[in-house]
């Protein structure tokens, strides 16, 4: 028995040694690399590439989109030091002999559609709400059956801190929609929606609310990272016109109000969306004017037509509490946003048109969520 135990112990020790050796070779072979290395007013980026002939740093804060050259140093570690950009969330990558590579030393990554990018969060007052707080809500991914789209579909749902404990409390709901190329994870990843809501609620600036982030691609069951097949939709089929918006209002809203402690009233529902999701927001509020009291299209608009005027008159008759339109002055859709602003004004709909600097970017969309969320459900 002792001999068997000794052999077993020796095998365990050997396996542990082999595993440790593998980790040692992976983690500690050559010089220790730290990246990004914050140094107050500067940041140094380091990347080990033994056989590369050229390495560049490419960052979303840069005006030089081709990137800047890094220099090879001891142990084939390529480095570059840059001024620390203004407080914000940025993404970056290394261009190694023409190939984009994420920073292997940085565990912070964001997924934007089918791209994963290293993330850089620069501390400051501006980014306080983008960081985790002590009182955190819960993010989950329930599935619902869509008879309209003919598939089982995945949602991302945020419930505020205290939701599980306060079992008798019901909450208002914000339906938060992504743009083209995104999915149900876009707002929780690139948008930092959970962190923003956690901070606003903890500071007493926003009402505790449920946030529902659907997948706005009607042919997808879920984010592409789930590896699920997509369906083929005939967008020329009249039955498919506004099919996703119909599913949102007629299937997702009832699903949430059945399975979550949500207040099932127009006065406790808000809808907001960026880019394509802004178009969905406009369509949903026009086609279902008795569903949402808070309407926030972001980086989107609509050309004025008689049909739009008629829809806006219907919305005006139904009534609402907030219509908050936002766009960046350098955004490619600013003309359409201006047109919607003019249509709202001409039809006598009270609204806010919030114009910022910058373009069609997550930097702006995070600002917009941070700005309009405190206005909801007041």
Stated pTM of the model: 0.89
CA–CA dist 104, 285 (Å, integer):
44
Joined together, the tokens standing for residue 299 give 């980086």
Which uninterrupted H or E stretch holds 15? helix 2-28
Least confident of 15-24, 139-148, 289-298: 15-24
- Stretch 331-337: mean pLDDT, rounded? 97
**Residue of higher predicted confidence among 302 and 24:** 302
Distances 179 to 183, 190, 249 between C-alpha atoms, Å: 8, 12, 18
Whole-angstrom Cα distance, residue 186 to residue 193? 9
Reported confidence tier of residue 9, pLDDT bands at 50, 70, 90: very low
pLDDT tens-place string over residues 164-205 = 999 999 999 999 999 999 999 999 999 999 999 999 999 999
- Sketch out the chain's domains with CATH numbers: 37-123 (2.60.40.10), 129-375 (3.40.50.1820)
- Which stretches does DSSP call E strand in 293-373? 294-298, 322-328, 352-356
Mean confidence (pLDDT) of the chain: 91
Compute the half-sphere exposure of residue 182: CA atoms within 13 Å on the CB side of its CA: 28
Give the DSSP H/E element, type plus range, for residue 153: strand 151-154
Helix (H, G, I), strand (E, B) or coil at 119: strand
């Amino acid at each position: 028995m002792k001999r068997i135990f000794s052999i077993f112990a020796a095998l365990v020790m050997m396996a542990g040694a082999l595993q440790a050796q593998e980790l040692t070779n992976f983690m500690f072979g050559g010089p220790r690399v730290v990246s990004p290395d914050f140094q107050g007013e500067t940041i140094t980026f380091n990347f080990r590439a033994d056989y590369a002939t050229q390495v560049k740093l490419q960052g979303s804060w840069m005006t030089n989109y081709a990137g800047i050259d890094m220099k090879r140093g001891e142990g084939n570690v390529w480095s570059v030091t840059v001024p620390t950009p203004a407080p914000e969330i940025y993404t970056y990558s290394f261009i190694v002999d023409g190939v984009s590579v994420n920073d292997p030393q940085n565990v912070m990554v964001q997924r934007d559609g089918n791209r994963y990018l290293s993330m850089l969060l620069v501390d400051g007052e501006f980014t306080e709400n983008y960081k985790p707080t002590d009182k955190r809500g819960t993010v989950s991914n329930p599935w619902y059956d869509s008879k309209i789209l003919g598939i089982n579909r995945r949602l991302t749902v945020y419930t505020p801190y205290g939701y599980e404990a306060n079992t008798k409390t019901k909450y208002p709901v914000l339906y938060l929609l992504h743009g083209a190329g995104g999915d149900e994870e876009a707002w929780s990843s690139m948008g930092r929606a959970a962190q923003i809501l956690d901070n606003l609620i903890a500071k007493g600036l926003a009402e505790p609310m449920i946030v529902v982030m659907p997948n706005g691609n009607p042919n997808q069951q879920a984010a592409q990272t789930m590896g699920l097949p997509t369906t083929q939709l005939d967008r020329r089929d009249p039955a498919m016109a506004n099919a996703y918006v119909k599913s949102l209002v007629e299937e997702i809203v009832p699903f949430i109000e059945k399975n979550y402690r949500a207040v099932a009233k127009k006065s406790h529902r808000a809808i907001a969306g960026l880019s394509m999701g802004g178009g969905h927001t406009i369509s949903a509020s026009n086609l279902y004017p008795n569903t949402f009291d808070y309407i926030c299209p972001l980086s989107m608009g609509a050309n004025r037509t008689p049909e739009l005027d008629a829809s806006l008159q219907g919305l005006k008759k139904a009534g609402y509490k907030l219509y908050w339109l936002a766009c960046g002055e350098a955004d490619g859709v600013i003309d359409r946003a201006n047109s919607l602003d003019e249509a709202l004004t001409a039809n006598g709909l009270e609204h806010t048109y919030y114009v910022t600097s910058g373009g069609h970017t997550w930097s702006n969309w995070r600002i917009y969520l941070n700005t309009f969320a405190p206005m909801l459900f007041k």
